[in-house]
Amino acid sequence: MNRIAEISVSLPFTSGASVTFDDKIEVSLDCHVCRRYHRTVIFSKGESKGKCLPKKHPFPGRITAKEVSQDKRLTTVKYRLFFDYEPFTVEKSPETLKTSGKLTWARVSYMITCPACGEFTEGSTQNNLVRPLNYYCDCGQLLYSEVKEMPVLSWIDKDASPMEFPETSSCEKKRTLSCDRPQNNDPNTTLEFIRMLTVLILFGILLLICTQIPILLVAKTNPLIGLLAAVAAIPLWLSIVRPMPGLLQGIICVAGVFAILIVNIICLVKVVSWLIS
């Protein structure tokens, strides 16, 4: 039994960013070769067969087309996938699983050139991510924001009847299957959380430096030196914690400036008192 599926991704990349989508895609399929349920299968453009993980045995299927298009806002890539499927059952306690031959998950990878610093960033998107997500370059430039679930998985072969592939309210158009996905933990989400937590900790340390050092200088040395340090802390903070990109970073930036301004006022009062005395 032949199946023809389409895997598409549409993302609003930042203006000036250069994007190259990988010729390789990863999908979740029921493999009738090793008779396993929800196997990750890798297909590469130009190769006659896929590769079923983890044993890496050949899977009967191939990428027949890859199209990239762009409008004013979105960059879109579409992969057309042709593969064979044979129904089978999986004896798995406490129930017997009946395979369907439908894609339940996919991952599409790409390479982005940052418009701000020119560095290359490798990225990917897949169905089981927690959204919305903002992706940044190491320099802090926003590369794109991801709100809707991607990739979109759809059928274009005649054999994909509604009975074989039941639709739900969130999957009405083109028999979209992106609502049907495996419930596995995604390492990219964990890494993104760790990255954000690390950045927040570093911002907190920097804010302590910008606010406490001037106060210590006022108390322990000459108040004028403390005031100069407080004034210099504002451009230092703004050079590292820029108000853009991202709402959270903007809030942190404004809050930091406000805190440093309060320190400036405190130091100014100390200087005036010192001069009068």
Which pLDDT tens digit goes with each residue over 218-237? 777 778 888 888 888 888 88
Closest CA to 74 of 180, 150, 137: 150
Torsions phi, psi for 258 (to 5 deg): -60, -45
Domain ranges of the chain: 2-184, 192-276
pLDDT of residue 247: 61
Summarize pLDDT for 27-43 with one digit per residue, the tens.
998 888 888 878 899 99
pLDDT value for 169: 32
Pairwise CA distance, residues 63 & 77, whole Å: 13
Query: Cβ distance 256 to 262 under 8 Å?
Result: no
Compute the distance between CA of residue 95 and CA of residue 255 in angstroms, rounded to an integer: 56
Regions of the chain where pLDDT drops below 70: 91-98, 157-193, 243-249
